[in-house]
Amino acid sequence: MSEKNIYPVPDHFQQAWMTDEKYQSLYRYSLEKPEEFWSYKAERFISWFRPWDSVYDGDFSKGEVSWFRGGQLNVSVNCIDRHLEQRADQVAILWEGDTQDEQKSYTYQQLHDEVCKLANTLKHLGVNRGDRVCIYMPMIPEAAFAMLACARVGAVHAVVFGGFSPHSLQDRILDCDCQVVITADEGIRGGKAISLKANVDEALQGCPDVRNVLVVKHSGGDINWVEGRDHWYHTLTAAQPAVCEPEIMEAEDPLFILYTSGSTGQPNGVLHATAGYILYTTVTFHYVFDYREGEVYWCGADVGWITGHSYMVYGPLSNGATTLMYAGLLFWPDASRIWDIVDRHQVNIAYTAPTAIRALMAKGDEYVEKYSRSSLRLLGTVGEPINPEAWQWYYNVVGNSRCPIIDTWWQTETGGIMITPMPGANALKPGSATRPFLGIRPALLDDDGNKIVGPGEGNLVICGSWPSQIRTLYGDHQRMLDTYFNHFPGYYCTGDGARRDEDGYYWITGRVDDVLNISGHRIGTAEVESALVLHRAVAEAAVVSIPDAIKGEAIYAFVTPMDDAEPSPELESELIKLTASEIGSIAKPHHIQWTKALPKTRSGKIMRRILRKIARGDTDNLGDTTTLADPSVVNHLIEHSAYCQ
Ligand code: PRX
């Protein structure tokens, strides 16, 4: 091994069946005979109503792929019904609310009954197979019931993160033409109410096609009520039987749409298909987390993000696991809450984002050390590169140097984990997501599309299809081709840069496109810029990221005022509020720099590369500025940057 900083496989994983040798041979086999490999996994991990006719067909370079054509299945049956014979009384979803005394648990039998009652309710409201249903929920079990109930009746869910503004919610509802919204009166986090139903009311002012809103009574707070449109979840579900025949779905039928940010202002409605998605999330959950019968698994992601979909709901439940859902905050009532949860619920596997790890680390070790954490066996991270310091803290302090750190790289579009250590197989290097999962062939390309052989750094692409690959951007296949397949013909372009070392380990270096990663959340620069220019005082805006000790990246905005506008602290707070109300709190700029002009090429393109360096105070080598229409803009920007004040 080439790096000094190497952590061998912990002792108790040395006995795991997935040794390095086994991984190497399985990996080779999965690439040499992908159809045989995936058909074997599909038989072992998934229950089918009808077997498939062919494992894989399609044209990868056109983004047209089909996995398990002819196969029929239902995802809710895979996540619930097939477990009933053996584990009807085992807890499927363990829920802890905002405060320690709010706890609920649902066994697989109870999960079945809740999902069936809701599925029947959806049918009663006129939801048919293929219809889109928007889910805008806090972290409560009903969010998982809603996803599974959609899957049961063949409806396509579009979960929208509860932190998104009414405006963002409206955009998403309109884009995929949802006619039903499932929400709650309010979410509660850190003792504060989040007005979800009020946001839905506001969003729906522009969504005339939404005929029904199903409202979970969670906080009991006062809400507005639209007679005929709004229905209490508990009233309608109570009237329905706890049995609902699952729809027989075709393998390629859509399962869900999840919106994510791309480099344009328009959110990307990533569509995932039934069989490939459930197979891949089931298999990756099994191998990557090395889940063992009876263990408690906690994923810290919100259900509104892909991690919440794949590794809080679908992957764990399809494996018959006990998945813990926590509705509160990391620091509520104090910074030891997570470790208190780990001890009380005897959590064995914890999966969270580097931003959370850094925030907890900043509070001090004493919050962790108050609790035993002896149940922990494996620790995972996802969402952004993890800096070695945070990795080591997670490993040494949280895991007492016993638990492997499983740094998983993947994306909304990939559906499941793509590059990851396999516990038992990999020596670990802090900051590296290590090696590809079975069946995944990553490559690095230079900017001209030439393949980099051996160690090197470049654009991370994937060669060839995998079952949970994005199928399309809802309603716009051409945009999906332009975004992911046309940059480097023949490859799926991830939008990330990466380095590969002498041992074939991958180190993700971050986005190479105009996408920011704030606390593990993707935000397009164009989305923030479009929000800023809505203000009457703003003529133009350009947004870049700067490093942030906790969030990973923070937003730095360069703003040109209108001729008649006067920059002021009040105006800055208006702009910050505007980004929050247009997009959500995660899009608030950390710093706003006013400028009379932005650096542009003669053809009018903003040179973000230069802005990024100015925002970071890295102005010694700005690169070639001769192509700028007005090079003097640069000096002015440097003099007024946050670093020169
Ligand atoms: O830049 C990569 C980063 O998050 C992006 C995907 O974001 P999203 O679709 O929201 O999904 C996040 C959860 C899967 C990637 O393009 N990213 C994700 N995981 C890692 C990561 N960067 C470095 N290391 C990771 N483990």
Determine contact, residues 455/500, Cβ cutoff 8 Å. yes
Point out which residues pair with 261 in neighbouring strands: none
Residue with tokens 């229950």: 47
Q: Residue 3 — pLDDT band, cuts 50, 70, 90? A: low
What would the mean pLDDT of 636-641 be, rounded to a whole number?
88
Please name the residue ranges forming H helices in 65-182: 75-79, 84-87, 108-124, 141-153, 166-176
Q: Residue 626 — pLDDT band, cuts 50, 70, 90? A: confident
Q: How far is the CA of 528 from the centre of ligand 1 (A)?
A: 19
Point out which residues pair with 183 in neighbouring strands: 136, 215
Q: Is the CB of 302 under 6 A from ligand 1?
A: no
What would the mean pLDDT of 610-634 be, rounded to a whole number?
86
What would the mean pLDDT of 435-458 be, rounded to a whole number?
97
Tokens of 438: 């079975």
What would the mean pLDDT of 529-552 be, rounded to a whole number?
94
> How do residues 178-224 score in pLDDT, each as one tens digit?
999 999 999 999 999 999 999 999 999 999 999 999 999 999 999 99
Higher pLDDT, 524 or 145: 145
- At 506, the amino acid letter reads Y
> How do residues 460-507 score in pLDDT, each as one tens digit?
999 999 999 999 999 999 999 999 999 999 999 999 999 999 999 999
Q: Residue 15 — pLDDT band, cuts 50, 70, 90? A: low
Query: Which atom in ligand 1 lies closest to the alpha carbon of residue 494?
Result: 16
The answer for residues whose C-beta is within 8 angstroms of residue 482's C-beta and 6 or more apart is none
Catalogue the E-assigned strands of 309-352.
322-326, 349-352
Q: Residue 560 — pLDDT band, cuts 50, 70, 90? A: very high
Residue 609: other Cβ atoms inside 10 A = 13
In a 10 Å sphere around its CB, with 0-12 CB exposed, 13-18 middle and 19+ buried, how is residue 597 labelled? middle
Residue whose CA lies nearest to ligand 1 atom number 15: 411
What would the mean pLDDT of 127-144 be, rounded to a whole number?
98
Tokens of 358: 């850094």
The answer for residues whose C-beta is within 8 angstroms of residue 274's C-beta and 6 or more apart is 73, 75, 249, 250, 251, 252, 253, 254, 255
Give, to the nearest 10 degrees, the angle between helix 632-639 and helix 608-615: 30
Supply the pLDDT for residue 572.
Answer: 96
CA distance 91 to 106: 6
Mean predicted lDDT score pLDDT of the chain: 95
Q: How far is the CA of 383 from the centre of ligand 1 (A)?
A: 4
What would the mean pLDDT of 289-318 be, rounded to a whole number?
97
Supply the pLDDT for residue 602.
Answer: 82
- pLDDT above 90 for 644: no
Looking only at the bridges linking them, the beta strands covering 72-73 and 91-96 are unpaired
Residues annotated within the binding site for CoA are 189-192, 307, 519
- pLDDT above 90 for 372: yes
- At 499, the amino acid letter reads R
Q: Is the ipTM of this complex over 0.95?
A: yes
Residue whose CA lies nearest to ligand 1 atom number 21: 384
Tokens of 33: 């005979």
Residue 443: other Cβ atoms inside 10 A = 18
Supply the pLDDT for residue 5.
Answer: 84
What would the mean pLDDT of 59-85 be, rounded to a whole number?
97
Whole-angstrom Cα Rg for the chain = 24
Determine contact, residues 9/427, Cβ cutoff 8 Å. yes
- pLDDT above 90 for 630: no
Q: Is 540 helix (H, G, I), strand (E, B) or coil?
A: strand
Q: Is the CB of 517 under 6 A from ligand 1?
A: yes
Residue whose CA lies nearest to ligand 1 atom number 12: 383
CA distance 261 to 249: 29
The answer for residues whose C-beta is within 8 angstroms of residue 349's C-beta and 6 or more apart is 289, 291, 295, 296, 297, 298, 376, 377, 378, 379, 380
Looking only at the bridges linking them, the beta strands covering 515-518 and 91-96 are unpaired
Our mutation pick for probing the ligand 1 site, out of 284, 410, 440, counting the most ligand atoms within 8 A of Cβ, is 410
Residues annotated within the binding site for Mg(2+) are 533, 535, 538
Q: Residue 173 — pLDDT band, cuts 50, 70, 90? A: very high
- pLDDT above 70 for 4: no
The answer for residues whose C-beta is within 8 angstroms of residue 343's C-beta and 6 or more apart is 371, 372, 373, 375
Residues annotated within the binding site for ATP are 383-385, 407-412, 496, 511, 522
What percent of the chain has a predicted confidence (pLDDT) above 90?
A: 88
What is the value of pTM for the model shown? Answer: 0.95
The answer for residues whose C-beta is within 8 angstroms of residue 445's C-beta and 6 or more apart is 451, 452, 458, 459, 461, 488, 491
- pLDDT above 70 for 16: no
- pLDDT above 60 for 62: yes
What would the mean pLDDT of 323-345 be, rounded to a whole number?
96
Our mutation pick for probing the ligand 1 site, out of 496, 506, 553, counting the most ligand atoms within 8 A of Cβ, is 496
Q: How far is the CA of 420 from the centre of ligand 1 (A)?
A: 12
Q: Residue 57 — pLDDT band, cuts 50, 70, 90? A: very high
Tokens of 186: 């309010």
Residue with tokens 């086994």: 22
Residue whose CA lies nearest to ligand 1 atom number 13: 383
Cα→Cα distances 387→336, 353, 355, 551, Å: 22, 12, 10, 12
Q: How far is the CA of 325 from the centre of ligand 1 (A)?
A: 21
Q: Is the CB of 309 under 6 A from ligand 1?
A: no
What would the mean pLDDT of 399-417 be, rounded to a whole number?
97
CA distance 149 to 155: 8
Long-range pairs, 367-370, Cβ under 8 A, ≥24: 367/334, 367/335, 367/336, 367/339, 368/336, 368/339, 368/397, 368/398, 369/397, 370/336, 370/339
Q: Is the CB of 261 under 6 A from ligand 1?
A: no
Residue 21 backbone phi and psi in degrees, to 5: -60, -45
Residue 329: other Cβ atoms inside 10 A = 14
Determine contact, residues 537/565, Cβ cutoff 8 Å. yes
- pLDDT above 90 for 388: yes
How far does CA 477 lie from the centroid of its chain?
21
Number of residues written out for the chain: 645
Q: How far is the CA of 409 from the centre of ligand 1 (A)?
A: 6
Determine contact, residues 354/385, Cβ cutoff 8 Å. yes
What would the mean pLDDT of 43-72 be, rounded to a whole number?
97
Cα→Cα distances 639→60, 278, 610, Å: 49, 53, 14
Q: Is the CB of 355 under 6 A from ligand 1?
A: no
Cis before 569 (ω within 30): no
Cα→Cα distances 199→165, 169, 174, 223, 246, Å: 7, 8, 15, 11, 32
Q: Is the CB of 385 under 6 A from ligand 1?
A: yes
